[in-house]
Structure 1
């Protein structure tokens, strides 16, 4: 039960095609209305850096209230928002249908959409969002790209910081020349027709990260599903648009949603479930796309058919039961529940997934890692992100007990691994960072992928 409202939270469509959406005076009035409510509540003080910045801004003002805060000083509050949605989904008692009607993340999104319209989003920041172009180019010369992007490379990383705004110490994902899509063309796992879930069909939306940066996530997931009787197809029309959403480019997101849905929907019509491999992308398909283009019926249908990969495997376990063959792992696991997984309101699916492994020694950490997509690698945010993540690093490391750490968000996993290494005492064993919990499940099954 929520304090402030007795009803389940609902979210309104984002009215980005209305000219009033870009009215700066109306935006300022809404910022002040919402910030005043937040200032009086403060339940979100420990979620991200937006709220401490907001509360300090007001507390340090002449009157100690919002009336003596200049509107130009709101920008650092907006810039600190990673659009994780946790304030809306887990903390705020005043979300709709409450009469206060607060949606803090989408208000930050509106601010950024206006910045973009005014040409105030830097070129370097926007180029980082072009994940398909960047992934294809980097994959053509993956060894060189990965050498240049290594955070220990004192020659190239300072240049990247100056030119692209990427902090020279931030751990970056690797690139692969042989993408997930290319791998699926070479081999397809044999489907276990005797498995309890035989008869299920699913189309895997590869996502830009699994396709270009870590195809093992996709091949491991596909191997697990095949072992459990699920026939799969793999498609990747293009990125879901989450990187563009971070900068308020709602028109681009709407275009991407329509293109991706046009490819996925025919599978849904043939009885396939849809699986996304990264929770940020699943969140887009399930929730953000239908709010950005509410008139697009394709998106509503697709949202109802979409599962996060951990959610889908747990669904098999609950409804049909898993195929035999799971064995204990050779060490304990710390699993991190990513913010964009928590925002899907589906429960602790990564934890439930790991508990399917026999005799698993499991520690579950449910707190923001401080990464926030491309936010955490930027030079102005990296150190803040590492500070936010310290409690997570400490809990995940658990005094050197776990052999493996894994996050549903592969980028958060890299960030956590780096944080654990930075905080480790001399001689303290470091856990192995695994890109996604499904890889540990594939390991427990003894599957080749």
Structure 2
């Protein structure tokens, strides 16, 4: 577990991270990345209590990592410190629930989903939830789907193609937004791929974010075991949830210090879907039989996408669509940070962090905004009333699929 901790010695105390941190700017509870990260890390040891409970106010947005000129892994240091805090003090019922996205999704979706969604729309029930399990009454909880993406994919059957690709759908597409996965499958098949959807678990990011590293490691190892047979055949893995894909590629292996060859091979052959499509375009292998879409749309590249360090592949690919113009948000973060903004004590902070983004979307005058992250989309729609979509939905529409 050494290399992340070793990076703290590169800190030059320049305070760039303190200036850029969107949470420290709006919260008195979080003294800032430098203080909670490399500065506090020097006092953290496995055999003594974590000295600073304020680390739990780090949202994990990685803005500090992006701006650090010395390459200190501040967000990862904070995540490990939070895990140490959880190991010493235990985890609340609320955090245990929201960290298990796959389980919550399985219990929420199905024939009873409309009834559940109706219940979650009742203010008295949301008030009770806030009092009992401390999920804020106004938190953007997505409506569950009556039919899962997996059900749809099994019903329609797998279709042959000249090449193969594995699709990692993640919990949001499986249980809440199956249409995102349907659009991804349509685009990949249109470009000549046979899409394979293996068994898969939650990527583990909600568990990592809430400090339950042991459970996250079980989920990651399960996913690696399901994906490695395809990777060894040279079949790439792609996903529409940019946060899930970052977890498979980098976050879980680094935070959990997983160094097996299988973990490394899966990480090396896993791609954000637009990263994958952009590579096809660069090789002149991407079909460009697009219909014109004469629209100007606001686009927010979420924190987890920027953490991939791959630029803005969705912008690059969608720029090929005639008539379509995307205006990039310059906001640092939407504030939701996965499960962070759902919590009663952090909801107001999340809304304050996201305020510049919400203003950007409102001032665009558009009734539609694009974002690669599901929780960011739910947060933007919650705050602005504007419909949000994954960029893959626009690409599918341009293909006429």
Q: Which residue of 1 aligns with 2:95?
A: 125
Q: Which residue of 2 aligns with 1:6?
A: none
The change in CA–CA distance for 1:12 and 1:92 in structure 2 (over 3 A counts) is: farther
Question: 1:295-314 maps to which residues of 2 (within 5 A)?
Answer: 295-314=259-278
Query: What is the CA distance between 1:37 and its match in structure 2?
Result: 5.5
8 Å CA contact 1:208–1:239 kept in 2: the answer is yes
- 4+ aligned runs moved over 3 Å, structure 1: 11-15, 50-58, 71-74, 188-191
8 Å CA contact 1:332–1:403 kept in 2: the answer is no
Q: Which residue of 2 aligns with 1:388?
A: 353
Q: Which residue of 1 aligns with 2:44?
A: none
Q: Which whole-Å CA distance do the structure 1 matches of 2:320 and 2:143 have between them?
A: 30
Where do 5+ consecutive residues of structure 2 fail to align? 33-38, 41-48
Q: Which whole-Å CA distance do the structure 1 matches of 2:250 and 2:17 have between them?
A: 24
Query: What is the CA distance between 1:330 and its match in structure 2?
Result: 5.0
Question: 1:49-128 maps to which residues of 2 (within 5 A)?
Answer: 49-50=23-24, 74-76=52-54, 78-88=55-65, 90-95=66-71, 102-128=72-98
Count of residues paired in the alignment = 384
8 Å CA contact 2:26–2:353 kept in 1: the answer is no
Residue 250 of structure 1: which of 209, 213, 218 is its match? Answer: 213
8 Å CA contact 1:369–1:416 kept in 2: the answer is yes
State whether structure 2 residue 331 is matched by structure 1 residue 362. no
Q: Which residue of 2 aligns with 1:172?
A: 141
Query: What's the TM-score, normalizing by structure 2?
Result: 0.88
Superposition RMSD in Å: 2.8
Q: Which whole-Å CA distance do the structure 2 matches of 1:218 and 1:56 have between them?
A: 37
The change in CA–CA distance for 1:41 and 1:240 in structure 2 (over 3 A counts) is: same
The change in CA–CA distance for 1:91 and 1:270 in structure 2 (over 3 A counts) is: same
Q: Provide Cα deviations, 1:82-122, integer angstroms capped at 9, x if missing partner.
A: 2222311x201222xxxxxx321122112211221123321
Q: Which residue of 2 aligns with 1:441?
A: 395
The change in CA–CA distance for 1:133 and 1:57 in structure 2 (over 3 A counts) is: closer
8 Å CA contact 1:50–1:80 kept in 2: the answer is no
Query: What's the TM-score, normalizing by structure 1?
Result: 0.79
Query: What is the CA distance between 1:203 and its match in structure 2?
Result: 0.3
Q: Which residue of 2 aligns with 1:157?
A: 126
Q: Which residue of 1 aligns with 2:383?
A: 419
Q: Provide Cα deviations, 1:324-346, integer angstroms capped at 9, x if missing partner.
A: 43112253211110100100101
In our comparison, the structure showing a higher alpha carbon Rg is 1
Find the residue that maps to 1:202 and give its secondary structure: strand
Query: What is the CA distance between 1:388 and its match in structure 2?
Result: 1.1
Find the residue that maps to 2:180 and give its secondary structure: helix
Find the residue that maps to 2:19 and give its secondary structure: coil
8 Å CA contact 1:369–1:389 kept in 2: the answer is yes
The change in CA–CA distance for 1:188 and 1:320 in structure 2 (over 3 A counts) is: farther
Where do 5+ consecutive residues of structure 1 fail to align? 1-10, 16-29, 59-64, 96-101, 194-198, 422-430
